[in-house]
Amino acid sequence: MADDQFPGWHGTTIIGVRKGGKVVVAGDGQVSLGQTVIKGTARKVRRISPGGVDVVCGFAGSTADAFTLLERLEKKLEAHNGQLTRASVELAKDWRMDKYLQKLEAMLIVTDGTDLLVITGAGDVLEPEHDVTAIGSGGNYALAAGRALMDSDMSAEDIARRAMSIASDICVYTNGNLTVETIGG
């Protein structure tokens, strides 16, 4: 089947929220192929601990590609004494320049409880301006909702959960089965 005829995999929304000394990463569980939901309980937010450093990662895109990137991030964290920003920049450089890695289709939100970063295959390591970031099919919906809620009295986790609920009401590739990880504070 030609690439333009293949219905494509869709179905991820990941949000990261930093507030009150805590960082929360939440992701939905839906994986879709075209207009069909293949799985509703995928776990796209994970905790890794290379060398005793606690890092929470959320991924959007191809699962196999994301796991390849998570393995590489673990190695970079070990090589750079747990410095998340440095490890992320090194991963982004490799991802941008390595012919094998360039074909990977995924994005990552990563945090160590202090830094909150988005890593892309374009060589970007982005830190959100407003302590909330989101990626994936429903990422823009979750981002808008999260930013609107940041001035409220809600906790980071409550903001992430509410923003994901709003995104799942709008994006057909996002569901309400959440995996939520909190770090910091």
| pLDDT tens per residue across span 121-153 | 788 999 999 999 999 999 999 999 999 999 999
Q: Which residue has the higher pLDDT, 38 or 157?
A: 157
- For residue 1, is pLDDT > 60? no
Q: What are phi and psi of 104, to 5 degrees?
A: -70, 135
Give me the percent of the chain exceeding a pLDDT of 90.
66
Dump pLDDT digits (tens) for 5-19. Answer: 444 445 689 999 999
Range 87-111 average pLDDT = 83
- For residue 159, is pLDDT > 50? yes
Between CA 131 and CA 137 the distance in angstroms is 20
- DSSP assignments along 124-153, one per residue: -EE--TTSEEEEETTHHHHHHHHHHHTTSS
Class at the top of the CATH hierarchy for domain 9-160: alpha beta
Question: How many CA within 13 A on the CB side of residue 122?
Answer: 4
Range 106-118 average pLDDT = 94
Instruction: Write down the domain spans for the chain.
Output: 9-160
Asked whether the beta carbons of 82 and 52 are under 8 A apart, the reply is yes
Range 170-182 average pLDDT = 95
Between CA 29 and CA 52 the distance in angstroms is 28
Dump pLDDT digits (tens) for 21-35. Answer: 999 999 999 988 888
The answer to whether the pTM exceeds 0.85 is: yes
Asked whether the beta carbons of 86 and 112 are under 8 A apart, the reply is no
pLDDT of amino acid 121: 78
The answer to whether residue 13 is catalytic is: no
Q: Which of 12, 13, 174, 182 is catalytic?
A: 12
Any idea what the Cα angle at residue 26 is, between residues 45 and 157, rounded to 5°?
Answer: 140
pLDDT of amino acid 34: 80
- Tell me the H-state helices in the chain: 63-79, 84-97, 139-149, 156-170
Between CA 29 and CA 14 the distance in angstroms is 10
